[in-house]
Amino acid sequence: YSDGVCSPVIARSSQPMVGITRNRSQADEQLIEMIRKSTINYKSENAQIKMPKNSLPPKLVIFDCRAMTNALANNVIGGGVESDLNYKDCSVVHLGIENIHLMRESVNSLTQLCFFAQEGDTDGWLAKLETTRWLSYIRALLSGVQQVVSVVTRGISVLIHCTDGWDRTSQITSLAQICLDPYYRTLKGFQILIEKEWISFGHRFGDRCGGCFDE
């Protein structure tokens, strides 16, 4: 996503295939460098993201939707996270959004809680709602969106990814564009947003929504 020539870019991908041997991809590094250099509308104000004190604002921010520990754990299966030593003038920020498995457990617990409430069982409902962690997950997601929007509005390009790049990544990129661009808050714009950020990137609607599809 970009709203004009030389404007900041919202790019997306899946995790880099670093692995335990710390593999590098020159093609990936060159692509990120080209995205970084394409943005000339950079503003010098500090972006509101969690970065080391006294550090200069980066020219490109890589937002990893996962927690750092989860990202590093993927090294064992050939994945991992970018090293800011290999990506010039880039900074990696971890958003700490949980994976699809914990999200599924949470929404199932929430659904069950709402069903019991309809049956009249509302004793300690708010406390039970807290145990589902659903609101905590939503807060983490919206906090990530706020950080992305804060960076982009200051003229800094971003790269967003999670593990596979079709769940948390789509959530962050879609919500960020809804905040940044009023076109995506129209019916037609929202349809295009779903097509380009979810369908085109292979979001697994059948698995995630519990639908039944013929092979």
In the set 65, 162, 179, 212, the catalytic residue is 162
> Token match 């593999």: residue?
23
Q: What span, in angstroms and rounded, lies between the C-alpha atoms of 122 and 75?
A: 45
Helix (H, G, I), strand (E, B) or coil at 8: coil
Ranges assigned E (strand) in the chain: 10-13, 60-64, 90-94, 157-161
Give 117's contacts (C-beta < 8 A, 6+ positions apart). Answer: 125
Partners of 91 in the β-ladder? 61
Active site residue 212: no
How are beta strands 157-161 and 60-64 bridged, if at all? parallel
Instruction: Encode 1-16: b = buried (16+ Cβ within 10 Å), e = exposed.
Output: beeeeeebbbbbbebb
**Any idea which residues carry the catalytic annotation?**
162
